[in-house]
């Protein structure tokens, strides 16, 4: 069957294969420690769930305006202004079905065939695929582990060409957890202004920050609005991944274009979820703060635990709920090339029953993405298994690999 080029150009999610293997083991009754999750292990807070139930009872179950109901658009603008220092108006805000939908819409609203989109590696798996789907060209710019994977404006400037239309930034980042300092954001904005490039800021993890790091948006910088597009998500912040709620903040011509795409595709985000989102944005940050303080403890534990494993090095990320250790030193001589973390992840699942996502999925072989969106008890068990795998079982794996 002949499918459209846009589908043939893109790859299915690289994380899917590992997760399917995990399902097979779980179905056999095997206890698997899952460091794969890209979502908080906390339930959606009660007050948000109740708002959705109330919306159903009040029959708020019909089409809404494509951009979302006005109270929700206003609440998104107000929340972003209060917690991240921006100032947008209702015509500059469109509610989307999750942050991913916002990014997809923005890329499709701006990219013509051959336009370049600058993506910082290690990157979230979907960026290059979304760009390819829009017939754009993803241009990958490596960030350095020695610099905590923080992108530098000077390097970005060197990678810009006359065809560069968008630079995607993601702070805190998936998979590295890197947080771009305010001062670097200011320099990135200057580079974008001088070169006529849009900064598409994916703020999915904005509030997952630890230590001295504070939630920050590039939209709060003076003069940012004409050069910046914000893709925001309620998924992680309010433990609402399944509700599919996110929004775009952008100058009106871009917001209108996003709206046009949306009106001819999904029509509107689910009405009931919109009322849940309204409550999330208006209902205070208490549940968010509780979740973040729990994540902070887990982050400390997992970094300390990983650093004790010979051959594993782990930088200390200031944000998100992932750590991104380099395990190349630990898998060398394992029958795999040092960079082959796809094999390492497969072996880990098969032999130690631990799910991790190989760095290859994010353009970074040699690394593993480990999510600490799981209980402290599972983290302890997972660390024990990882340590055992890299320290003790290594020769067993090595022998198996040699045999076959």
Ligand X SMILES: Cc1ncc(COP(=O)(O)O)c(C=O)c1O
The binding site for ligand X (CB under 6 A) comprises 38, 98-100, 124, 170, 174, 202, 204, 233, 235, 241, 246
Minimum distance from residue 124 beta carbon to ligand X (Å): 4
**Of the candidates 212, 141, 221, 153, the residue with the CA atom closest to the CA atom of residue 184:** 153
- Which CB sits closer to ligand X, 170 or 341? 170
- Which CB sits closer to ligand X, 99 or 215? 99
Q: CB–CB of 233/79 below 8 Å?
A: no
- Which CB sits closer to ligand X, 299 or 343? 299
And the tokens for 144?
Answer: 């350095």
Minimum distance from residue 246 beta carbon to ligand X (Å): 4
According to DSSP, the residues that pair with 140 across neighbouring strands are 119
Strand positions, DSSP E, 203-286:
228-233, 246-249
What is the residue whose two structure tokens read 């003069």? Answer: 223
Can you give the length of the chain in residues? Answer: 404
- Spacing of C-alpha 125 from chain mean position: 8
For the chain, the helix, strand and coil percentages under 3-state DSSP, each to the nearest 5: 45, 15, 40
Residue 367, phi then psi, degrees to nearest 5: -115, 160
**Of the candidates 142, 218, 145, the residue with the CA atom closest to the CA atom of residue 180:** 218
Residue nearest to ligand X (CB): 98
**How far lies 298's CA from each of 31, 291, 311, 367, in Å?**
21, 11, 22, 20
- Whole-angstrom distance, CA of residue 33 vs CA of residue 383: 9
Minimum distance from residue 241 beta carbon to ligand X (Å): 5
Minimum distance from residue 142 beta carbon to ligand X (Å): 18
Minimum distance from residue 199 beta carbon to ligand X (Å): 15
And the tokens for 313?
Answer: 């090095």
And the tokens for 215?
Answer: 């939630």
- Which CB sits closer to ligand X, 38 or 128? 38
- Which CB sits closer to ligand X, 130 or 383? 130
Minimum distance from residue 204 beta carbon to ligand X (Å): 4
**How far lies 147's CA from each of 71, 316, 340, 356, in Å?**
42, 11, 23, 23
- Spacing of C-alpha 274 from chain mean position: 22
Minimum distance from residue 244 beta carbon to ligand X (Å): 7
- Which CB sits closer to ligand X, 248 or 341? 248
- Which CB sits closer to ligand X, 241 or 388? 241
- Which CB sits closer to ligand X, 305 or 319? 319
Minimum distance from residue 291 beta carbon to ligand X (Å): 16
């Amino acid at each position: 069957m002949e499918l459209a080029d846009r589908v043939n150009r893109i790859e299915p999610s690289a994380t899917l294969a590992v997760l399917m293997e995990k399902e097979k083991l779980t179905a056999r009754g095997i206890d698997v420690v899952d460091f794969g999750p890209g979502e908080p292990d906390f339930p959606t807070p009660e007050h948000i769930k109740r708002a959705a139930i109330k919306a159903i009872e009040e029959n708020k179950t019909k089409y809404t305006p494509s951009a979302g109901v006005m109270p929700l658009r206003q609440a998104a603008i107000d929340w972003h202004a209060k917690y991240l220092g921006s100032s947008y108006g209702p015509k500059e805000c469109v509610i989307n079905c999750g942050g991913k939908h916002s990014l997809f819409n923005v890329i499709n609203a701006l990219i013509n065939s051959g336009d370049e989109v600058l993506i910082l590696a290690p990157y979230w798996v979907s960026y290059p695929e979304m760009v390819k789907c829009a017939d754009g060209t993803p241009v990958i710019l490596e960030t350095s582990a020695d610099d905590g994977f923080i992108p530098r404006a000077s390097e970005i400037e060197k990678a810009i060409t006359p065809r560069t239309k968008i630079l995607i930034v993601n702070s805190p980042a998936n998979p590295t957890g890197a947080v771009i300092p305010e001062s670097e954001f200011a320099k990135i904005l200057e580079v974008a202004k001088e070169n006529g490039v849009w900064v598409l800021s994916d703020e999915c993890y904005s509030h997952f920050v630890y230590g001295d790091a504070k939630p920050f948006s590039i939209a709060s910088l003076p003069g940012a609005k004409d050069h910046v597009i914000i893709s925001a998500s309620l998924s992680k912040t309010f433990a609402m991944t399944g509700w599919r709620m996110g929004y775009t903040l952008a100058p009106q011509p871009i917001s209108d274009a996003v709206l046009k795409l949306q009106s001819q595709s999904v029509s509107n985000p689910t009405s009931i979820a919109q009322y849940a989102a309204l409550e999330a944005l208006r209902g205070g940050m208490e549940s968010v703060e509780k979740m973040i303080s729990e994540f902070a403890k887990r982050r400390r534990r997992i970094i300390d635990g990983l650093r004790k494993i010979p051959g594993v090095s782990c930088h200390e990320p200031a944000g998100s709920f992932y750590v991104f250790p380099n395990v190349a030193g630990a898998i060398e001589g394992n029958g795999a090339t040092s960079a082959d973390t796809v094999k390492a992840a497969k072996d880990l699942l098969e032999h130690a029953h631990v799910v991790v996502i190989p760095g290859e999925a994010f353009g970074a072989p040699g690394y593993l993405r480990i999510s600490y969106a799981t209980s402290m008890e599972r983290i302890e068990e997972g660390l024990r298994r990882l340590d055992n795998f890299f320290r003790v079982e290594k020769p067993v794996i090595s022998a198996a690999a040699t045999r076959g």
